[in-house]
Chains A and B, each alone.
Chain A
Amino acid sequence: MKKTGAQIIVECLKKEKVEIFFGIPGGVLLPTFDVIYDSPVKFVLCRHEQGAAHMADGYARATGKVGVCIATSGPGATNLATGLATAHMDSIPMVAFTGQVATHLVGNDAFQEADTTGVTRSITKHNFMVRDVKDLATTIAKAFYLARTGRKGPVLVDIPMDITRQTCEFRYPENIKMRSYNPVYKGYQQQMKKALDYITKSKKPVIYAGGGVISSNSSKELRAFADKLGIPVTLTLMGMGAYPADSDLFLGMLGMHGTYYANHAIQNSDLIIAIGARFDDRITGKIDEFAPKAKIVHIDIDPTSIGKNVIADLPVVGDAGEVLKELNKLIAKEKIKLNFKKWHEKIRKWKEEGPLTYKNDNKLRPQYVIEKIHEVTGGKAIISTEVGQNQMWAAQFYRYNYPRQLLTSGGLGTMGYGFPAAIGAQFAMPDKVVFDIAGDGSIQMNIQELSTAVQNKIPVKIAIMNNGCLGMVRQWQQMFFKKRYSGTCLKEGNPDFVKLAEAYGAVGIRVNTKKEVVPALKKALKINNVVVLDFRIEEEENVWPMVPSGKPIHEIMRGLA
């Protein structure tokens, strides 16, 4: 039977087993939304397309499935851009649909026309404009296939309005093959043997793992690998939860706001085994002085990540999970047993010398709040973050023992990400507690989604670390610009977040002192509604430790702690 383009879009969603998608309609999407009206796939109306994109992203990060969003032409599409760029930088599988003006108007500066594929070309893994209804189903199938394979990422499909009205036979391709796209999953056996060679010869190895381990669902394999050989593990922000924080071998995060001991371990190591991580500048600090004594084995699915920032002594192109499985097999087969006792001893000393800590006095400090969030949620919550100090504290002081527990914009650093991402995650995981750890600046970037959360009874908890300023920028101004707080003071303009929550039909709780923290959190957990917790934290609290930009990562400042 023939179907219209609009019907085909929804049929494709069904074929892809999409449960939910997020977005906002508009003129060119009217035929599509008319079909969505009767569709079994749940549509969530957001209040801003950026929110829709981050919700799809949060859903994808929490589940590993492809997140889906939809926006109208022109402003709808440009509003998606930040969300696409955020997902692109962190390799999150997403498919975004955008409406486009009718084919005969394309290029004429028609009403609400934007060159969407042009604008999003460099912030998506790939994008398409559909020019014939006969190509629609295949194009959508390709989009899903590209999003979830290889190095994952967002794919956009731009669909002119007339295409949604035209009809053709609907046939969904069972298998997608693209002769120009063949991601490599299995590592070369030869390279993996060599990797083990490097490991057996090393005395001070460190595993440095990132988002690739989470993306490939291979934290179990990572755990087996590290524990079997006794190699300490440090994680990037994107990798948090890929290896349990409670393990003795865990070194915490590395880099700019990494731990003292992770950075020292890296700088003194003789072998770095990088797995699904890309030696970003926030990790390496001054690159010429990064891990000067170490050989580097770099495992990544994306060949462009290897040799881009640091030269790998041994590149292994492949999926982190596949490679780790194979390495574990080899280790078992060859009965490899190693002993890094001396190295462990050294690391233990660094751990004693520079523990991750903060001033635990009577003041209301954000680190304490986050530790308590950890406590009251039994360490099992899904945590999303905004960007800035709140993000770093959330990474440092909530102990992530499970993958897909921390949802944060690592690569792009998008303020306004956390709250919609939390909503997306909560839709996917109704039984989990989902917390957005926020700053008073960031939360205001997508605060309108309170409406979406309340309307859909999504009981996300927002913990605002309210310091009255754009804290992370202020910290840099304090340290490097003589406390000239230029453009970073929010306080006088901040809304009353409790009243704001109430205005949306959510619940607001203000917390002024340390002793109110636990009762407030417990109360919030009992409320089956969105709760905005306004923690009035110490205004000049800083994130420690810290490596000033451009410095080698062992020159780490430990601050007051």
Chain B
Amino acid sequence: MKHTISVLVENQPGVLARIAGLFSARGYNITSLAVGETEIADISRMTIVVDGDNRILEQVTKQLNKLVDTLKVNDFTREKYIARDLALIKINCETKRRPELLEMVKVFRGKVIDLSPKAVIIEVVETEDKLKAIIENLRPFGIAEMSRTGTIAISRGKK
């Protein structure tokens, strides 16, 4: 099962390598990893999506906690949370199919963020599942390039 884990870490040099190294050395599978600043300047949040059974997840969270630079580890799968992925999708769409494409983008609440004679760039912010569906629907138009972030997540409620 996939788990979304949030890790708050000291923003120290090497901390990303430490976390990535932990996953590779122990053979855990990372589906995605996203890093960014938090509301506190010297703390970063890593959102890691990892695949594994409960036993592996227990080890993953313990091992992450054990790292000296780790402040807090949350396995969101056990609580209410909101998660989003961002994708930028470039489509080389013939002009005559554009209305159809734009309709599709609208249905999926995407945004056209760039238009040129040969290409349309679409921005979609969605959950991972939905994003997958959108991409499948866009494929027939001819996806030239795609760039995606990993999942980022935040818990619901006060804190």
Contacts and interface: CB of A to CB of B under 8 A. Distances in A.
Given A307-B59, A308-B59, A302 B66 contact: yes
Interface stretch (A92-100, A178-186, A285-293, A452-460): A178-186
A125 B55 contact: no
A363 interface: no
B9 interface: yes
B77 to A, nearest CB: 18
A428 to B, nearest CB: 27
B25 interface: yes
A115 to B, nearest CB: 10
B13 A180 contact: no
A234 to B, nearest CB: 26
B62 A304 contact: yes
B112 to A, nearest CB: 41
Contacts of B63: 304
Contacts of B65: 303
A278 interface: no
Interface stretch (B14-22, B90-98, B102-110, B123-131): B14-22
A129 B55 CA distance: 34
A180 B10 contact: yes
B70 interface: yes
Contacts of A122: 21, 25
B62 to A, nearest CB: 4
Interface string A109-145: 0000000011001100111010100000000000000
B17 A126 contact: no
A155 to B, nearest CB: 9
A125 B68 contact: yes
Contacts of A131: 13
A122 B67 CA distance: 11
A122 B14 CA distance: 12
Given A303-B62, A307-B59, A308-B59, A129 B10 contact: no
A131 B12 CA distance: 12
A146 interface: yes
30 contacts: A117-B14, A118-B17, A121-B18, A121-B21, A122-B21, A122-B25, A125-B68, A126-B68, A127-B14, A131-B13, A146-B68, A179-B71, A180-B10, A180-B68, A180-B69, A180-B70, A180-B71, A181-B68, A302-B66, A303-B62, A303-B65, A303-B66, A304-B59, A304-B63, A304-B66, A307-B55, A307-B58, A307-B59, A307-B62, A308-B59
10 closest Cβ pairs, A-B complex: A304-B62, A126-B68, A180-B71, A303-B62, A181-B68, A180-B10, A304-B66, A304-B63, A122-B25, A180-B69
A142 B69 CA distance: 12
Given A118-B17, A122-B21, A125-B68, 16 more contacts: A118-B14, A121-B14, A121-B17, A121-B18, A122-B25, A127-B14, A129-B13, A129-B14, A180-B9, A180-B70, A181-B68, A303-B62, A304-B66, A307-B58, A307-B62, A311-B55
Interface in A269-322: 302-304, 307-308, 311
A63 B66 CA distance: 26
Contacts of B10: 180
Contacts of A303: 62, 65-66
Contacts of B18: 121
B150 to A, nearest CB: 22
Interface string B14-38: 1001100100010000000000000
Nearest to A142: B68
Contacts of A118: 14, 17
Contacts of B69: 180
Interface residues of A, number: 20
Nearest to B69: A180
A281 to B, nearest CB: 15
Contacts of B55: 307, 311
Contacts of A311: 55
A127 B15 CA distance: 11
Contacts of B59: 304, 307-308
A129 to B, nearest CB: 7
A118 B58 CA distance: 26
A477 to B, nearest CB: 30
A512 B63 CA distance: 51
Contacts of A126: 68
Contacts of A308: 59
A85 to B, nearest CB: 12
A304 B63 CA distance: 6
A356 B13 CA distance: 52
Interface string A164-184: 000000000000001111000
A527 to B, nearest CB: 46
Contacts of B13: 129, 131
A23 B58 CA distance: 40
Interface in B31-73: 55, 58-59, 62-63, 65-66, 68-71
Most B C-beta atoms less than 10 A away, residue of A122, A178, A180, A302: A180
User: Of A146, A178, A304, which is in contact with the most chain B CB atoms at under 10 Å from its CB?
Assistant: A304
A390 B55 CA distance: 37
Nearest to A179: B71
B21 A178 contact: no
Contacts of B66: 302-304
A540 B70 CA distance: 51
A179 B10 CA distance: 9
Nearest to B14: A117
A308 B70 CA distance: 20
A222 B26 CA distance: 33
A307 B59 CA distance: 8
A131 B13 CA distance: 10
Contacts of A129: 13-14
A279 to B, nearest CB: 13
A117 B69 CA distance: 15
